[in-house]
Amino acid sequence: MRAWLQHHRLSLVQTLARLARSPFATALNVVAIGVALALPLGAYCLLGNLERVSGRVSVDPQLSIFLARDAAKADIAAVEARLKGAQGVRAVRFVSRDAALAELSRSAGMDEAIAGLRHNPLPDAFVVTLSSSDTALADGLEHEFRSLPKVDRVLADAAWVRRLDALLRLGRTAVVVLSVLLGLSLVAVTFNTIRLQILTQRDEIELCRLIGATHAYIRRPFFYLGSLLGLLGGLAALAIVLAALAVLNRDWVQLALLYGSTLRLRFPDSSEMLAALAFSVALGWLGAYLSVSRHLLSSHTDL
CB of 298 to other proteins, least distance (A): 14
Q: Does residue 212 belong to the site contacting other proteins (CB under 8 A)?
A: yes
**Contacts for 147 with CB less than 8 Å, ≥ 6 apart:** none
What is the DSSP secondary-structure string of 202-223?
A: HHHHHHHHHTT--HHHHHHHHH
Instruction: Please calculate the CA angle 214-194-299 and round it to the nearest 5 degrees.
Output: 50
According to DSSP H, which parts of the chain are helical?
A: 2-21, 23-56, 73-85, 97-106, 111-115, 135-146, 159-200, 202-210, 215-258, 270-298
- Tell me if 196 contacts other proteins by CB under 8 A: no
**Minimum CB–partner distance for residue 299 and other proteins (Å):** 12
21 binds other proteins (CB under 8 A): no
Binding residue for other proteins (CB under 8 A) from 214, 261, 293, 299? 214
Residue 170's Cβ-side half-sphere holds a number of Cα atoms within 13 Å equal to: 6
Least Å from the CB of residue 29 to other proteins: 21
Question: Binder to other proteins among 161, 213, 242, 290 (CB under 8 A)?
Answer: 213
Q: Is 267 in the site for other proteins (CB under 8 A)?
A: no
- Burial label for 297, CB within 10 Å (0-12, 13-18, 19+), is exposed
Residue choice 155, 208, 242, 244 for contact with other proteins (CB under 8 A): 208
Using alpha carbons, select from 64, 123, 118 the residue that is nearest to residue 97: 123
Based on CB atoms, which residue is closest to other proteins, 108 or 211? 211
Instruction: Check binding of 210 to other proteins (CB under 8 A).
Output: yes
By beta-carbon proximity to other proteins, the closer residue of 74 and 303 is 303
Alpha-carbon distance values, 116 to 103, 104, 108 (Å): 16, 14, 15
| Residue 152 binds other proteins, judged by CB under 8 A | no
Query: Is 2 among the residues that bind other proteins (CB under 8 A)?
Result: yes
Using the rule CB under 8 A, which residue among 24, 119, 203, 259 binds other proteins? 203
> Which residues form the interface with other proteins (CB under 8 A)?
2-4, 6-7, 10, 203-204, 206-215, 217, 301-303
